Structure 1
Amino acid sequence: MTAALRLALLLVIVLGGHAVPARADTTCTATAPTTLAFGTITNGAASPTNAMTSFTITCSTAALSILGSASVRACLKIGTGSTGTSVLPTRSMTNATADPMAFQLYTNAGRTTVWGAVPGGSPPAAIVTLSYAVPLITGGSGAQSVTLYGQVPAAQVLSAGSFASNFTAANVSLEYAYNESIIGTAQPPALCTTASGVSGHKTADSAFPFTVSANVLPQCSAYVTTDMDFGSNAGAITANLDRTSTIGLTCINRTAYSIGLGNGQNAQGTTRRMRFTAPDNSVYYIPYELYRDPARSQRWGTTVNTDTQAGTGNGAAQTLTVYGRAPPTTGAVPAQGSYSDVITVTITY
């Protein structure tokens, strides 16, 4: 009876001195992050725009023993995305017309370490190490939250539109190696890429798919107009007086705009008129009209998509010509003096 007890005790001591490899199975999965949304980005912004999102990696192991454990070394690899061709110096997302916006993904809040797809290389994949008990019957698991940090650099010349890049398939790959032990502490593998000297090694593509998004609003600025001068005329106007003026503006690329011209301060119905007030306060008018075309057949008004002038910004200054005409006068000869009117220019984008 005493010898049997000694033998059992000796067996426990021998087994307790080693982490015994197991033949269970470990599987790691990750939750899908929410969209990494940068929101609205201003063309030429003076400061970078930051955003972040998070997800959880969970590893589970089937039941081993009362003293069982598992340890995992996992590499979370992120590639170029659906609209990019490189990771460095920046990734790129695009709008519907393939205009680019640079951005980058990082593993740290200081945004100094680019999140790449090369385990142990440059730029490196993110590494997660999990160790947990794997008791008999229930098995065990471990989980860790991972934060993805993003940044859109400042001072970019951008186009208007909604931008996005999708990260799926091989662009979001999870590679991991693991050790399992039925007794004692399982040591984490030195690398996530090794299949030698470990309990197991696996790779899963499309492990944590997500989308990066941003929006650039249409924008116009730098408005410049020139006056329309019909010149001088002696007595009644007997032939059309045709003159031009210009409207200048600068809109970021892909900004659709529409320019409308009001009827002025002295209109009679839809007829524009220049006004002169004599010293005796009597009032005189000279009719005129404004057009969108050199033939002066398309009146320029204020109803969008009907009689306004449409255009699309290209990031540079653009100039539109206003075609004016003062037709021959009818009735009484206009009084001698200077006639004028003020037109309101409305730019919609």
Structure 2
Amino acid sequence: MLRAIGFLLFSLLPSLCLAQSCSFTATNMSFGAVDTLGGSPVSSTATISINCTGALLTSPRILICPGIGAGSGGASSAAARQMKNGTNSLNYQLYADSGHSLIWGSNNWPYPALPPVFATNLNILGFVNTSTTLYGSVFGGQGAAAPGSFVSNFTTADTYFIYRYSSDTSCATPSGTLAGVSFAVNANVAANCLVSVANVDFGTRGVLSANVDATGSVTATCTAGTTYAISLSGGVANAAPTARKMAKGAETVTYGLYKDTNRSQPWGDATTAGSTVAGTGTGTGQVLTVYGRVPPQTTPTPGTYTDTVVVTLTY
């Protein structure tokens, strides 16, 4: 008789354990070309990637307090970080939300804003790869920022990322393992100018037997350090600076536009040497007075006489 003999094999395999750790990377945040004379902010984003490992077959919750400090550009206040181009500054801010209401702060900088609370769970294999978005905004109305490339660099000394396996929901007093990331925030400010005008109105006059004077203005708003020149066309008649024509049908009134209160320096266009007005932008509006004069002349029939002069700002 044959007997079947079986064997039971008992084995003990040690559970595979992974070290509990997290690493982080971040993309650069580039705002591209920024118009600092405009009132609207310019927005951009960066991505912070998170890679954590831990024990198999468990799903521990990892609390991450990703603090971001001022960066190499520093901060002018709690509300504004800065990018730098030499000694020139460009104000911006980093946020934890798309609505730009929650400033992304740090536990090791002098301002009230703290890191946002970020939590994730390991999968059953003991790891997780995820990411979060960093939002940024360059403020509008910064014409005093001279044209050029601006940057603020963030190193691991500026990024104070603390993480631990915890069910806590606050980053007010974080503890755990310290890590960090390196990235840069950059923008390019281009030279730009805006121009606005106030008309020259000679009012109501009778017989044109004496000089009739009036003034208007051209306001130039250019980025700091931007050189510019302003020319005035010859009007509808394309006349010389001191012989422009206001017209009512076929009848005209001769007038001139000047750069000075004495009406001795005609203000014309680039075709007349020395007749334009030059300046250098400061980031704020620079008001340039236009001095007008109607000289004595034969008085035409009563009515309204007008001319249109084109103002050209070249920079």
What is the TM-score of this pair, normalised by structure 1?
0.57
Q: Given the alignment of the two structures, is residue 219 of structure 1 paired with residue 194 of structure 2, yes or no?
A: yes
**Structure 1 pair 245/308, CA: closer, same or farther in 2 (3 Å)?**
same
Pick from 100, 107, 113: which aligns with 1:123?
A: 113
Pick from 260, 277, 282: which aligns with 1:309?
A: 277
Distance 1:69 1:335 in 2: 95
Q: Given the alignment of the two structures, is residue 166 of structure 1 paired with residue 140 of structure 2, yes or no?
A: no
Q: Which has the higher helix share?
A: 1
Return the offset for 1:309: 1.0
Return the offset for 1:338: 4.2
1:52 matched residue in structure 2: 45
Q: 1:65-214, aligned counterparts within 5 Å? A: 73-85=63-75, 88-93=78-83, 98=88, 101=91, 103-118=92-107, 122-126=112-116, 127-129=118-120, 131=122, 142-151=128-137, 157-159=141-143, 164-170=150-156, 172-176=158-162, 194=175, 201-204=177-180, 207-211=181-185, 213=187
2:219 matched residue in structure 1: 249
Return the offset for 1:38: 8.9
1:337 matched residue in structure 2: 299
**Structure 1 pair 87/124, CA: closer, same or farther in 2 (3 Å)?**
farther
**Structure 1 pair 215/89, CA: closer, same or farther in 2 (3 Å)?**
same
Return the offset for 1:346: 0.8
1:181 matched residue in structure 2: none
Q: Retained in 2: the 8 A contact 1:177–1:189?
A: no
Return the offset for 1:116: 0.9
Percent identical among aligned pairs is: 20
Return the offset for 1:147: 0.7
Distance 1:267 1:151 in 2: 46
2:3 matched residue in structure 1: none
2:259 matched residue in structure 1: 292
Q: Retained in 2: the 8 A contact 1:266–1:272?
A: no
Distance 1:99 1:27 in 2: 35
1:261 matched residue in structure 2: 232
1:330 matched residue in structure 2: none
Counterpart of 1:35 in 2: which secondary structure? strand
Q: Retained in 2: the 8 A contact 1:28–1:60?
A: no
Q: Retained in 2: the 8 A contact 1:36–1:53?
A: no
Report how many aligned residue pairs link the two structures: 288
Listed one character per residue, the Cα deviations across residues 21-52 of structure 1 (whole Å, up to 9, x for unaligned) are 87x5846131324425695577445xx76543
Return the offset for 1:262: 1.8
Distance 2:44 2:242 in 1: 53
* Letter of the 2:267 counterpart: W
Distance 2:294 2:58 in 1: 93
**Structure 1 pair 232/90, CA: closer, same or farther in 2 (3 Å)?**
same
Q: Retained in 2: the 8 A contact 1:245–1:323?
A: yes
Listed one character per residue, the Cα deviations across residues 192-213 of structure 1 (whole Å, up to 9, x for unaligned) are 9646xxxxx4434xx1413154
* Letter of the 1:224 counterpart: A
Distance 1:145 1:214 in 2: 27
**Structure 1 pair 322/84, CA: closer, same or farther in 2 (3 Å)?**
farther
* Letter of the 1:302 counterpart: D
Q: Larger Cα Rg: Structure 1 or Structure 2?
A: 1
CA RMSD, aligned part only? Answer: 5.3
Distance 1:110 1:267 in 2: 52
What is the TM-score of this pair, normalised by structure 2?
0.61
